[in-house]
Amino acid sequence: MTLAADNPLIVQGDRTLMLHTVRTLLDELGRPRRDAQGRPMTEEHPRFAAARDALNAFAELEKSPDYLHTYRLTPVSVWNAAALGLSADDILARLDEFACVPIPRNVESEIRTWIERYGLLRIERVAGASGARFALCSAAADALADALAHESVRKLVTLDADGHVWLEEHQRGSIKQALIKLGYPVDDRGGYLDGDPFPIVLKLATRAGEPFAPRPYQIEAAHSFYRGGSVLGGNGVVVLPCGAGKTVVGLTAMSLVGEKTLILTTNTVAVRQWREELLDKTGISPADVGEYTGEEKSVRPVTVTTYQMLTWRRSKTDAFEHFALFSRENWGLVVYDEVHLLPAPIFRVTAALQARRRLGLTATLVREDGKEDEVFCLIGPKRYDVPWKVLEDKGFIAQARCTEVRVPLAAALKGKYASATARNKFRVASENPAKIRVVQQLLERHQDGRVLIIGQYLDQLDELVRHVRAPLITGKTPNAERERLYERFRRGTERILIVSKVGNFAIDLPDANVAIQISGTFGSRQEEAQRLGRILRPKSDGSAAAFYAVVTLGSRDQEFAQKRQRFLTEQGYSYEIIDSSQLEASVGA
């Protein structure tokens, strides 16, 4: 390996990766060039973007301040890379390519160990005198012995005199959960039950008569999941940006499987959107698409429901009344929309669904509860991923300009902020009334825009309604009223909508081209992904989208905004940071 001293990457022994985003400009004598204030002059490091894209395949971004981004190698990040076909040599070659110092030996050793462990233990269906049974197998006897040394594994299996390690079908999920905690990601080749046949044919044109065909990456994603119907596929996660057509990937996968399908999504609006897409882009008749929600409970060959519906119970000690939906029909495929939001009870029931094909769809695998390993072992590994900027460059999603507007805390609130608890400091700063003036200025800047204003706190949003005179949609807004307002926005009758956190999920508003975020959930990258995704549908005129985050300067609000920005950095976006006085000057000009 030949190291380049000006490469941007440092690999540390604790598996932290430090990526420089800029480099210092030097004069002809090799000294730092300085600006008029005497500060060193910098430019974006010419290898930063390539290094960032390489690291995203196998490392997790942890911090992204302006000049130095911090990534970390984890077992799950490396195993997801292995599922996409990367070897240890591939990962090490990419690290070598961008590193300015040698890779520590222990890091190389850990990467090789993790890769070797991927699929070292397998679940297989083994034929026997009494019929086929499930067995835990390995070509490495020491790995199998190591796993069986743990009570968490041993209690789930039965050993016979011939050395077979048997498990019951309903234990497939539980043993994968136990083994991944021990550092063994299981390759489940036990196969799937055949669901009831239900052929699904994609249309060549939508109901409006417009030509329709899945895009090449959507077809590739569906086939990467299905793998020709073999035991090598049939489970896993497809990662694509909001606006890139994950629903079409789901429809394409359904056409490949050709069996009854259960679709789980985030809310009733999303249920209706799935239904519309099914009827618009497939040959399924309306009578064959069921909606299982609080308003209607029809079960059909293709049934769409919500996570909230399935996890509803009368009290914390009662049973989940609607879990029977999972076993009520002979489903051949279960689709988990927005799989990064999967609630814990659904994980538990999914552990018993390992004989069904399972497809997860998401814009980000990041879970704020750290349960990426549960998604990996119960839904499946990452099967397909395309960086957002790649799809943007090809015109499949809109270009986006991201701006953070920093607003001073209103003078009257400084005492309240200083005396508040850490949690309440965040709320005081988030609800800073000075943000309303900034929103008004942004609306003036985008007088012809189709604008979504998104916030966390209802009191703040109610106050904003009084100043902006735009309709507000919250979790309490009846579904019929939500859909009426969304339709008015699509037609252009309403140009501005104010939405609470319901705006994070599954809103099909393709003409939205401006999003203004005035408050958000602490440090949630999931939320940032969803909110940016609301404006990424390609625009008919090819124009760019604008995403604004309005934050209170020097506060907890700004600290958490920096955490949310990690998602944008992962996807190749950068923030322009301005203060409210700069915005006022630009609007006035």
Q: Dump pLDDT digits (tens) for 28-83.
A: 777 778 877 777 777 788 888 889 888 988 998 776 666 788 889 999 999 999 98
Same structural domain, 249 and 167: no
Which of the pair, 566 or 236, is modelled with greater confidence? 236
Confidence at residue 121, expressed as pLDDT on a 0 to 100 scale? 95
Please count the structural domains in the chain: 4
Q: Left if phi > 0, otherwise alpha if psi is -120 to 50, otherwise beta: which for 51?
A: alpha
Confidence at residue 35, expressed as pLDDT on a 0 to 100 scale? 77
Instruction: Examine residue 315 and state whether it is found in any structural domain, yes or no.
Output: yes
Instruction: Examine residue 396 and state whether it is found in any structural domain, yes or no.
Output: yes
Identify the domain boundary among 170, 189, 208.
Answer: 189
Distance CA 413, CA 50 (A): 44
Tens digits of residue pLDDT in 354-410: 999 999 998 877 776 778 899 999 999 999 988 777 787 788 877 778 888 999 998
Q: Tell me the residue type at 525.
A: R
Same structural domain, 234 and 279: yes
What strand order describes the sheet that includes 165-167?
Answer: 158-159, 165-167, 133-137, 122-126, 187-189
Distance CA 480, CA 41 (A): 56
Distance CA 552, CA 275 (A): 41
**Average pLDDT score over residue span 498-506:** 70
Confidence at residue 527, expressed as pLDDT on a 0 to 100 scale? 56
Same structural domain, 128 and 107: no
Same structural domain, 138 and 105: no
**Average pLDDT score over residue span 448-476:** 91
Same structural domain, 339 and 413: no
Instruction: Examine residue 535 and state whether it is found in any structural domain, yes or no.
Output: yes
Instruction: Examine residue 204 and state whether it is found in any structural domain, yes or no.
Output: no
Strand blocks (E) in 301-381: 302-306, 333-336, 357-362
Same structural domain, 130 and 54: no
Same structural domain, 56 and 137: no
Which of the pair, 567 or 161, is modelled with greater confidence? 161
Mean pLDDT of the residues in the chain? 87
Distance CA 461, CA 453 (A): 9
Same structural domain, 448 and 427: yes
Instruction: Examine residue 437 and state whether it is found in any structural domain, yes or no.
Output: yes
Distance CA 249, CA 253 (A): 6
Instruction: Examine residue 202 and state whether it is found in any structural domain, yes or no.
Output: no
> Residue 507 is part of a domain; what is its CATH number?
3.40.50.300
Question: In terms of residue numbers, what domain contains 50?
Answer: 9-116
Do 256 and 226 meet the contact criterion of CB atoms below 8 Å apart? yes
- Whether the per-residue pLDDT at 2 is higher than 70: the answer is no
**Average pLDDT score over residue span 92-100:** 95
Q: 451: which residues sit within 8 A by CB, 6+ positions away? A: 442, 443, 495, 496, 497, 512, 514, 515, 516
Instruction: Examine residue 199 and state whether it is found in any structural domain, yes or no.
Output: no
Same structural domain, 94 and 232: no
DSSP string, 80-115: HHHHTT--HHHHHHHHHHHBSSPPPHHHHHHHHHHH
Same structural domain, 402 and 349: no
Same structural domain, 20 and 165: no
- Whether the per-residue pLDDT at 510 is higher than 80: the answer is no
Which residues share a beta bridge with 359?
236, 335
Same structural domain, 339 and 439: no
Tens digits of residue pLDDT in 113-147: 999 999 899 999 987 666 789 999 998 989 999 99
Do 566 and 64 meet the contact criterion of CB atoms below 8 Å apart? yes
Confidence at residue 507, expressed as pLDDT on a 0 to 100 scale? 61
Q: Structure pTM?
A: 0.78
Distance CA 107, CA 12 (A): 8
Residue 109 pLDDT level (bands cut at 50, 70, 90): very high
Instruction: Examine residue 267 and state whether it is found in any structural domain, yes or no.
Output: yes
Residue 562 pLDDT level (bands cut at 50, 70, 90): confident
- Whether the per-residue pLDDT at 541 is higher than 70: the answer is no
Return the closest-CA partner of residue 410 out of 431, 426, 432.
432
Tens digits of residue pLDDT in 186-229: 999 999 999 999 999 999 988 888 889 999 999 999 999 999 99
Q: What is the largest CA-CA distance in the chain?
A: 85
Which of the pair, 81 or 588, is modelled with greater confidence? 81
- Whether the per-residue pLDDT at 342 is higher than 90: the answer is no
Q: Left if phi > 0, otherwise alpha if psi is -120 to 50, otherwise beta: which for 379?
A: alpha
Q: Tell me the residue type at 298.
A: S
**Average pLDDT score over residue span 91-119:** 95
